[in-house]
Structure 1
Amino acid sequence: MFRRILAPRSGISVSRILTRRFLASQEPEIILKDKFRPMRIDRELPDPTKDVNKRRLQFVGFIVLMTSALAMIFNYEKTQSPVISNTLYHMRRSPKIREVLGDQIDFDGLVPWVSGELNQVAGNVNIKFYLKGSKGKVGEVRLVADRENQHQEFFIHEWSVKVDDKKYDLLEESGGAKTL
């Protein structure tokens, strides 16, 4: 009977009317602190163009900070590489380098920095970093090595330490060409 009365007059089905009434009853109720005073905004909206230079400076600072953090992470990965550990091991065991730098050979500086390419997967190593021993002298280590494929060992082309403008070739010490 309800359908006969509403449906022909409005052109809307009864199920749509009932669905709308059900959804209307589901809307959240707004609760005001003071029911006699309506909710109003008595202040200006913020200006989006205000302090543009300050936000740009903050964005540039953020980019610089993230770039430096990323560089530090990549450098840490290089310092923990087996190639660097192996090189440090040989420097500590080399009588020639121990004579020049002293005992307790380790990275120079608070934050060691390995510059150059250290890509073991592609087979390219071209790095340099600084060492310091107990005598207080600083030496620059240079290592250049490569390999043709992953089944071969690295072939060392240059492996030297430069201390006080004097270059010590570690390949000569070990008897010529060497592999890592």
Structure 2
Amino acid sequence: MASKARKKVNRPRSSGGNRGAKWALLIALVLLVGLVVLLARLTAEKNSQPTAQPGGQTDTRSVEKPPEKQPVSPEFQFYTLLPEEGNQPPRPSEPTDSPSDDAPADDEKAELAPDARYLVQAGSFSKARDAEARKAELALLGVESRIVPVDVSGARYHRVVLGPLPGKEINALRRQLEEAGIETTAPRRSDG
């Protein structure tokens, strides 16, 4: 069997001019929308600007101000209640342990032996760089210190220690550091 020759179907081809017309229409639409937006903004700006009266006079009519609102009382009353009550938190009870000779509790209460040498701690830090910063701060005050690493409960701490110094020097040093805002521990006797 012989196959029949197929007849070609002529399909209309799209012309290149049709494609160009679509692009031209799209560009014209975009420009038209842009023009409308621009005109709307210009009109809004023109309406928002004050206009002068003919003859160069401006409007001098007085404008009534809205009445000022009375200050609203606070919704929360604890601002006034707490100071009026005057309740103070309970003071912590004084420790019943008597201070040992090696660690006096306070330099005003405890007499330091003038011939004994004492150590004072000016901070304990978990990071070595923090301890170095405190040591540098003390050096700026003219105080010589050293860093002593210690292990407490499996954690490493870096203590900034001053001394050993005689008792009368330790008290003066602690006052100087207190004025500089650096807290110290109570002096403790040096074994060396």
Same fold, judged at TM 0.5 (above): no
As a proportion of its length, which structure holds more helix? 1
TM-score, normalising length: structure 1: 0.30
As a proportion of its length, which structure holds more strand? 1
Larger-gyration structure (1/2): 2
